[in-house]
Structure 1
Amino acid sequence: MRRIFTIKKVSTFVALFLLIIALFGCSNKNETSQQWKESNIFESGNYKMIGIKGRVGFIYDKKNMPIVKGQQNKYMWHLWGEKNQQEKKFKVLGTHEGSKKDVIIVPETINNLQISPNNSADVSIPTSMEFKKSGMWKLDVLLDGKLFDTIYVKVNNK
């Protein structure tokens, strides 16, 4: 009698464990597909930006100056909320959707950080960016080699 009771407990535990794994597996798939959605457009100062309001973004006019594959363009990045950002090294790594390989979108820089408030940001950084492929890109913003935040942009063919 005790042996049957133990087998029931074990089989119940295994069933619950498998159910939890299945639920977390489905949850992670949904999170992954949601992450590759273009970041929000917001206003700061007199400009529209793409990114996370009050955290990180760059000036972006989606309608009049979309990001186009193979076209290098200037972009002014803005950062909010972390003290002494101007003393840190800034870098942006990009990952094309469907790829696991990071590419350098903005090389590491410290000299270009502007510490005066610009468009309400704590720090602004003038950069150039070029994307070799169209589609969705994940942009990881790094300060001193550590992830500051991540935004997503769509790169057009034309």
Structure 2
Amino acid sequence: MGLTDIVNDMLDFISGVDFTTTQFGCLWSRFDPQGNTASKKLQNDAAALRSAAARGWFIPNGLKNWSSRPESLESVFYAYRITGDQKWADANWQILQAINTTARTRSKPSLHVVHNVDMPSGGSTSNNLGRFFFAEVLKYLYLTFVDASVVDLSAWAFHTEARP
């Protein structure tokens, strides 16, 4: 069973069950590493959610900063490429729009780390945008919206700092 089969199995299993803040569900909380399949026990009861939150599986309530990390965009990109479901591309489009709205200062046409994503232009910002922003964030956004033939995922694998 390949990665595509595993992800599709999991997505089929939890379709319609999006009870998290992001509305994408907590996919890996239902993954059974013993059989490489989605778990047959759907963990959507309050005790299971509290347990998952205690282990850091969700975005903590009140966390409002964005440090230009690429992991969420990368995950959404792969979910889109594997499933072809437009909701994943739409999610990266919303992230791109949010970056443009909150990480760009009005006084300078540059991007910054954001301290409060709920405020226009990010509230206060820091001028320490990591190199991974250029190496990974922009790359995964670009690859989400170009034709899949630009980078064939069966021929290329990306590692740290997005190098093939």
How does the TM-score come out when normalised to structure 2? 0.23
Q: Which has the higher strand share?
A: 1
Q: Which has the higher helix share?
A: 2
Higher relative contact order (CA 8 A, sep 6+): 1
Return the index of the structure with the highest Cα Rg.
Answer: 1
How does the TM-score come out when normalised to structure 1? 0.23
